[in-house]
Amino acid sequence: MTVSFKPWDPVDYLRTQEEIVAYLNAAFEDGDPRLIAAALGDVARARGMTRVAADAGLGRESLYKALSVNGNASFATVLKVLDALDVRLQPHSIQPLEQPIVEAQP
């Protein structure tokens, strides 16, 4: 009996908005811009690249390229894609909020 394996594709596991948000949060937490772009590309593929591109006001092929690991999506493109995916960036402090913010010295 021969056993065959299918390559792992995260798209197969991005079925709900909760799964999508958790996946994107993990990518943003890592902080690697290429990983973030690739994760956005995975989510766009899960949702349907043609639909996401149309909702973002972008061309499908240019979106594929921008969101690839070697792509170079602009911040404006990232924001458009996030909007098309019904996801928002939400800044949060990376230091404890109790610590005073030190002003820069002139």
Domain ranges across the chain? 10-84
Q: What is the pLDDT of residue 26?
A: 96
Give the sign of the dihedral formed by CA 67, CA 69, CA 71, CA 72: positive
Please name the residue ranges forming H helices in 1-106. 17-30, 33-47, 49-56, 60-66, 75-84
Confidence band for 27, pLDDT divided at 50, 70 and 90? very high
For 91, what's the count of Cα atoms within 13 Å in the CB-facing half-sphere? Answer: 2
Tell me the per-residue pLDDT of 56-66, one tens digit each, with 9 for 90 and over: 999 999 999 99
State the pLDDT at residue 92.
80
8 A C-beta contact, residue 41 and residue 67: yes
Length of the chain: 106
